[in-house]
Amino acid sequence: MGLKKNILYSSILTTANYIFPLLVYPYVSRVLGVTNIGICNFIDSIIHYFILFSMMGITIMGVREIASEKTNRISLDSKYSSLVALNGIMTLIAVVVLVIVTFIVPQLWENKEMMIYGGVKLVSNFLLIEWFYKGMEDFRYITMRTIGVKCLFVASVFIFVREKSDYPIYYLLTCLMVTGNAVINFIHAREYVSFKIKLISFSSICKPFFILGSYMLITSMCTTFNVAYLGFATDETQVGYYTTATKLYSILLALFTGVTSVIMPRMSSLLADKKIEEFKELLKKSSELLFSFSIPVIVFTTLLAPQVILLISGPGYEGAITPMRIVMPLMLIIGYEQIIVIQGLMPLREDKIVMRNSVIGATVSLILNISLVSKMASVGSSIVWICTETVVLILSQIAITHIIGVKFPIRTFIRNIGCYIPLFLILFFYKDILFYESYLILLITAGLFSGIYVMISQIFILRNPLLINILNPLLKKWK
């Protein structure tokens, strides 16, 4: 399957993982309330940390290893068997530790029912093997499968979640969604590969598995750990504000992450063929795509944060407005960081540099969490996240500039910023006209205007080659 189709399917897949929960979020946020939503997200942040420990570096390394061996069936069986076996051992350890922690930590024991549901999610994640399908570049299958399971999830939420006390049921349904995907995935994988004990070999995968895993764990200090620490340092209501504030950001960044995950195997292939200039050109195109997408979205969501929060969650979530305004620039910061790290440093196999930068970022995160969160609650967590990611971005940019001479595209960035200053001013004054009449009308009209403005700017002012290349065939067919 071609790169463009893979990008399309991967974008749909990644976005579906967030869009479908967003379809039910306005409903469950109103039914369950901010505190119960906070409990669900607090427990899930704990479970997610155990999932990260059980998966370690397999989500990144697995894609890389499977992509390099997919044309050789024996080598493919060996890599797959080895990765699954190692992942299974780590999952078993994670389950044992999870049980112990649940017994000894009072806040977790109070929610032991939900911790059990989270344990099901932890085990299911071992069977999910998304890394295998990404390495095989079979994005069409997993996209269609995911959409089917998500549809069942949405229907189940509206059927079974009816009142505030149903928050454990809501969390159980989110866990069973992972279970459904995992069972189907694991069975379908037999069409491509076989698990063979005699082919298991840990010698070539252990080091990158733990190095990249440490990177994933440390990176999560800025996301999952922030939620967990916020829950322990303050209360579930502040967790509800923070997770609501980051909901839209997560969905929008997922669109770009879908592109990043597809391009990574292609970048590895270019390096294997010593096509350095093509490698650099693809990095440049990725940056242009990010700027054209992220900057106008940041402008829109920052200015219209009160209306967006009101639409997503309803009244009672006003405490999420300021955190949302703080975290939305992360679309640009983390988006570019992903380009440098996932498309650049990881295909270059600079795992030690990635690890070093992550350790520094985690240290900054830990210090800032201790300093700010107990005093500033969800606002403090937002500040911690953006400061930490900025530090990691700067370090990663310095590294890739030193290794292959890829510099930050400052001219392209400034041109995009300048192009959207008029949009900022228009929305700044327009938002006060209709808000008290109808926030929904305001969001729809402002969104349509912003979309048209972005398209005209990208085609006629910035002359974005990616967008022009996409539109040219369509215009020729129309003629």
Asked if the model's pLDDT at residue 99 lies above 90, the reply is yes
The whole-angstrom distance between residue 243's C-alpha and the CA centroid of its chain comes to 14
Calculate Rg over the CA atoms of the chain. Answer: 22
pLDDT (tens digit, 9 = 90+) per residue, 370-406? Answer: 899 888 988 998 999 899 889 989 999 999 899 888 8
Asked if the model's pLDDT at residue 112 lies above 60, the reply is yes
Structure tokens that stand for 318 in this block: 């006003």
Q: What mean pLDDT comes out for the span 287-291?
A: 82
User: Is the dihedral angle over the CA atoms 278, 283, 286, 287 positive or is it negative?
Assistant: negative
Residues 6+ apart with CB under 8 A from 308: 248, 301, 324, 443
230 and 373 Cβ atoms separated by less than 8 Å? yes
Asked if the model's pLDDT at residue 252 lies above 80, the reply is no
pLDDT tier for residue 256 given thresholds of 50, 70 and 90? low
Q: What's the chain's average pLDDT?
A: 80
Asked if the model's pLDDT at residue 478 lies above 60, the reply is no
Structure tokens that stand for 175 in this block: 């866990």
Q: Among 207, 191, 197, which residue's Cα sits nearest to residue 82?
A: 197
More confident residue, 119 or 269: 119
Asked if the model's pLDDT at residue 168 lies above 70, the reply is yes
pTM score: 0.71
Asked if the model's pLDDT at residue 477 lies above 60, the reply is no
What is the structure's pLDDT at 342? 76
Structure tokens that stand for 454 in this block: 């972005």
What is the structure's pLDDT at 25? 78
What is the structure's pLDDT at 466? 65
Asked if the model's pLDDT at residue 363 lies above 80, the reply is yes
Please list, residue by residue across 29-68, b when 16 or more beta carbons sit within 10 angstroms of its beta carbon and e when fewer do.
bebbbbbbbbbbbbbbbbbbbbbbbbbbbbbbbbbbbbbb
Q: Helix, strand, or coil here: 303?
A: helix
245 and 379 Cβ atoms separated by less than 8 Å? no
Structure tokens that stand for 179 in this block: 């279970």
- Looking at this protein, which amino acid is placed at residue 66? I
Asked if the model's pLDDT at residue 100 lies above 90, the reply is yes
CA–CA gap between residue 363 and residue 369 (Å, rounded): 10
pLDDT (tens digit, 9 = 90+) per residue, 443-460? Answer: 888 889 988 998 888 888
pLDDT tier for residue 261 given thresholds of 50, 70 and 90? low
Torsion, Cα of 204, 209, 214, 216 (10° steps): 140
- In order of 8, 143, 466, 467, the CA distances from 472 in angstroms are 18, 27, 10, 9
Asked if the model's pLDDT at residue 177 lies above 80, the reply is yes
Domain residue limits, the chain: 1-204, 225-479
pLDDT (tens digit, 9 = 90+) per residue, 43-54? Answer: 888 888 888 888
311 and 274 Cβ atoms separated by less than 8 Å? no
Q: What mean pLDDT comes out for the span 57-76?
A: 72
What is the structure's pLDDT at 273? 66
Burial of 399: CB neighbours in 10 Å, binned 0-12, 13-18, 19+: buried
What is the structure's pLDDT at 262? 56
pLDDT tier for residue 326 given thresholds of 50, 70 and 90? very high
pLDDT above 70: percentage of residues in the chain: 82
What is the structure's pLDDT at 74? 76
pLDDT tier for residue 470 given thresholds of 50, 70 and 90? low
What is the structure's pLDDT at 474? 53
- Count other Cβ atoms within 10 Å, centred on residue 247: 22
125 and 59 Cβ atoms separated by less than 8 Å? no
- Looking at this protein, which amino acid is placed at residue 354? V
Residues 6+ apart with CB under 8 A from 131: 58, 59, 60, 61, 62, 63, 66, 83
Asked if the model's pLDDT at residue 240 lies above 70, the reply is yes
- Count other Cβ atoms within 10 Å, centred on residue 415: 16
Q: Helix, strand, or coil here: 2?
A: coil
- Where do the H-state alpha helices sit in 189-222? 206-219
